[in-house]
Amino acid sequence: MFDFLRRKKQEKEVPVVAEEEIGEDDGATPFFLSENEEESGEEKAEKAEEELDPNSPEALRLVADSLRKEATRMKLEAEKEDAQLTLSKIQSLEKQIADGAFDEDPKKADEAKEQIQFLVRRMEGDAAVAVPATPSASTTTITTTTSNSTSEAVEEAAEETLDFKNLFGKENQKDEEDPFYLMNFNPREMNRDNITDADLENYNRLWNDFPPFLRNLFARNMGFENADVITEINRTNVEIFFEDTPIDIFTDGNNTIIQRTEIQAIVESIFPRSMWKDGRTPALDDVDAFLTSCVNSTVFNQISKPEPVPGGFIVRGNNRMSSNDAMMTALTESLRNSRFHEELAVFYIDDPSPRDENMIEMGETNAPVLLVAKAPVAPRNNQAALALVSALGLLSAWVYSIGTFGYNDQVTQRIQEQQAANDLNLDWFLQLPVPAFVGILAITASNEIAQFIVAKAEKFKLYPPWLLPSFTLGTWGFITSLKSPPPNRQALFNFAFVGPFVGMTLSVILLVLGMSLTLSADRTLLPSLPVSLLRQSALAGGFVDYVYGGALGAPDPNSGLPLHPVAIVGFVGVLLSGYTSLPLGNTDGGRIVLSLFGRSAQSLISGLCLAVLCISGVVGGSDLALIYGLLVSLTQSDMEVPCLNEVDEVDTTSGVLAIIGFAVVALAVLPVPLDLPYL
Same domain, yes or no: 431 and 580: yes
Q: Is 301 helix (H, G, I), strand (E, B) or coil?
A: strand
Instruction: Give the pLDDT of residue 608.
Output: 92
Burial 381-420 (b: 16+ CB within 10 A, else e): eeeeebeebbeebeebbbebbebbbebbeebeebeeeeee
Instruction: Give the pLDDT of residue 361.
Output: 77
Same domain, yes or no: 442 and 478: yes
Of the residues 374, 406, 439, which one is the last residue of a structural domain? 374
Same domain, yes or no: 70 and 216: no
250: pLDDT strictly greater than 70: no
- Concatenate the DSSP letters of all residues of 393-459 into one string: HHHHHHHHHHHTTTT-HHHHHHHHHHHHTT----HHHHTSSHHHHHHHHHHHHHHHHHHHHHHHHHT
Instruction: Give the pLDDT of residue 213.
Output: 60
Cα angle value 167/168/169 (rounded, 5°): 105
Identify the domain containing residue 599 by its residue range: 384-669
The CA–CA distances, whole Å, from 527 to 236, 437, 562 equal: 67, 12, 6
The answer to whether residues 552 and 674 touch, using CB atoms and an 8 Å cutoff, is: yes
Domain membership of residue 103 (yes or no) is: yes
CA pair distance 674, 90, nearest whole angstrom:
73
The answer to whether residues 373 and 312 touch, using CB atoms and an 8 Å cutoff, is: yes
Confidence of residue 125 (pLDDT cuts 50, 70, 90): low
Neighbours of 361 (CB within 10 A): 9
CA pair distance 422, 11, nearest whole angstrom:
134
Same domain, yes or no: 13 and 85: yes
Dihedral in degrees, nearest 10, Cα atoms 148, 153, 155, 161: -150
Instruction: Give the pLDDT of residue 576.
Output: 95
Domain membership of residue 151 (yes or no) is: no
Same domain, yes or no: 530 and 608: yes
Domain membership of residue 529 (yes or no) is: yes
414: pLDDT strictly greater than 90: no
Same domain, yes or no: 449 and 556: yes
**Lowest mean pLDDT, pick from 53-67, 332-346, 489-503, 591-605:** 53-67
The answer to whether residues 243 and 192 touch, using CB atoms and an 8 Å cutoff, is: yes
212: pLDDT strictly greater than 60: yes
Confidence of residue 457 (pLDDT cuts 50, 70, 90): very high
Confidence of residue 358 (pLDDT cuts 50, 70, 90): confident
Instruction: Give the pLDDT of residue 92.
Output: 79
Total number of domains in the chain: 4
**pLDDT mean over 624-648:** 91
Confidence of residue 549 (pLDDT cuts 50, 70, 90): confident
168: pLDDT strictly greater than 60: no
Confidence of residue 402 (pLDDT cuts 50, 70, 90): very high
Instruction: Give the pLDDT of residue 359.
Output: 75
Confidence of residue 423 (pLDDT cuts 50, 70, 90): confident
**pLDDT mean over 564-576:** 95
More confident residue, 674 or 561: 561
End-to-end CA distance of the chain: 117
Same domain, yes or no: 343 and 395: no
Confidence of residue 558 (pLDDT cuts 50, 70, 90): confident
Instruction: Give the pLDDT of residue 550.
Output: 79
Instruction: Give the pLDDT of residue 221.
Output: 56
Same domain, yes or no: 115 and 180: no
Could you read off the pLDDT of 9-25 as tens digits, one per residue?
Answer: 454 444 444 444 444 44
Domain membership of residue 148 (yes or no) is: no
Instruction: Give the pLDDT of residue 616.
Output: 84
Confidence of residue 552 (pLDDT cuts 50, 70, 90): confident
Identify residue 206 by its one-letter amino acid code: L
**Mean pLDDT of all residues belonging to the chain:** 76
Instruction: Give the pLDDT of residue 306.
Output: 93
Same domain, yes or no: 134 and 93: yes
Could you read off the pLDDT of 474-533 as tens digits, one per residue?
Answer: 999 999 999 999 999 999 999 999 999 999 999 999 999 999 999 988 888 899 999 889
Domain membership of residue 153 (yes or no) is: no
Domain membership of residue 252 (yes or no) is: no
Instruction: Give the pLDDT of residue 43.
Output: 53
Q: Is 103 helix (H, G, I), strand (E, B) or coil?
A: coil
258: pLDDT strictly greater than 70: no
433: pLDDT strictly greater than 80: yes
CA pair distance 657, 245, nearest whole angstrom:
45
Domain membership of residue 536 (yes or no) is: yes
**pLDDT mean over 122-136:** 52
Same domain, yes or no: 395 and 291: no
Question: What residues are paired with 317 via a beta bridge?
Answer: 302
Same domain, yes or no: 481 and 588: yes
The answer to whether residues 544 and 530 touch, using CB atoms and an 8 Å cutoff, is: no
Cα angle value 82/88/93 (rounded, 5°): 125
Same domain, yes or no: 650 and 552: yes
Domain membership of residue 160 (yes or no) is: no
pTM of the model: 0.63
Q: Is 651 helix (H, G, I), strand (E, B) or coil?
A: coil
Instruction: Give the pLDDT of residue 148.
Output: 45
Query: Among 332, 329, 327, 305, which residue's Cα sits nearest to residue 316?
Result: 305
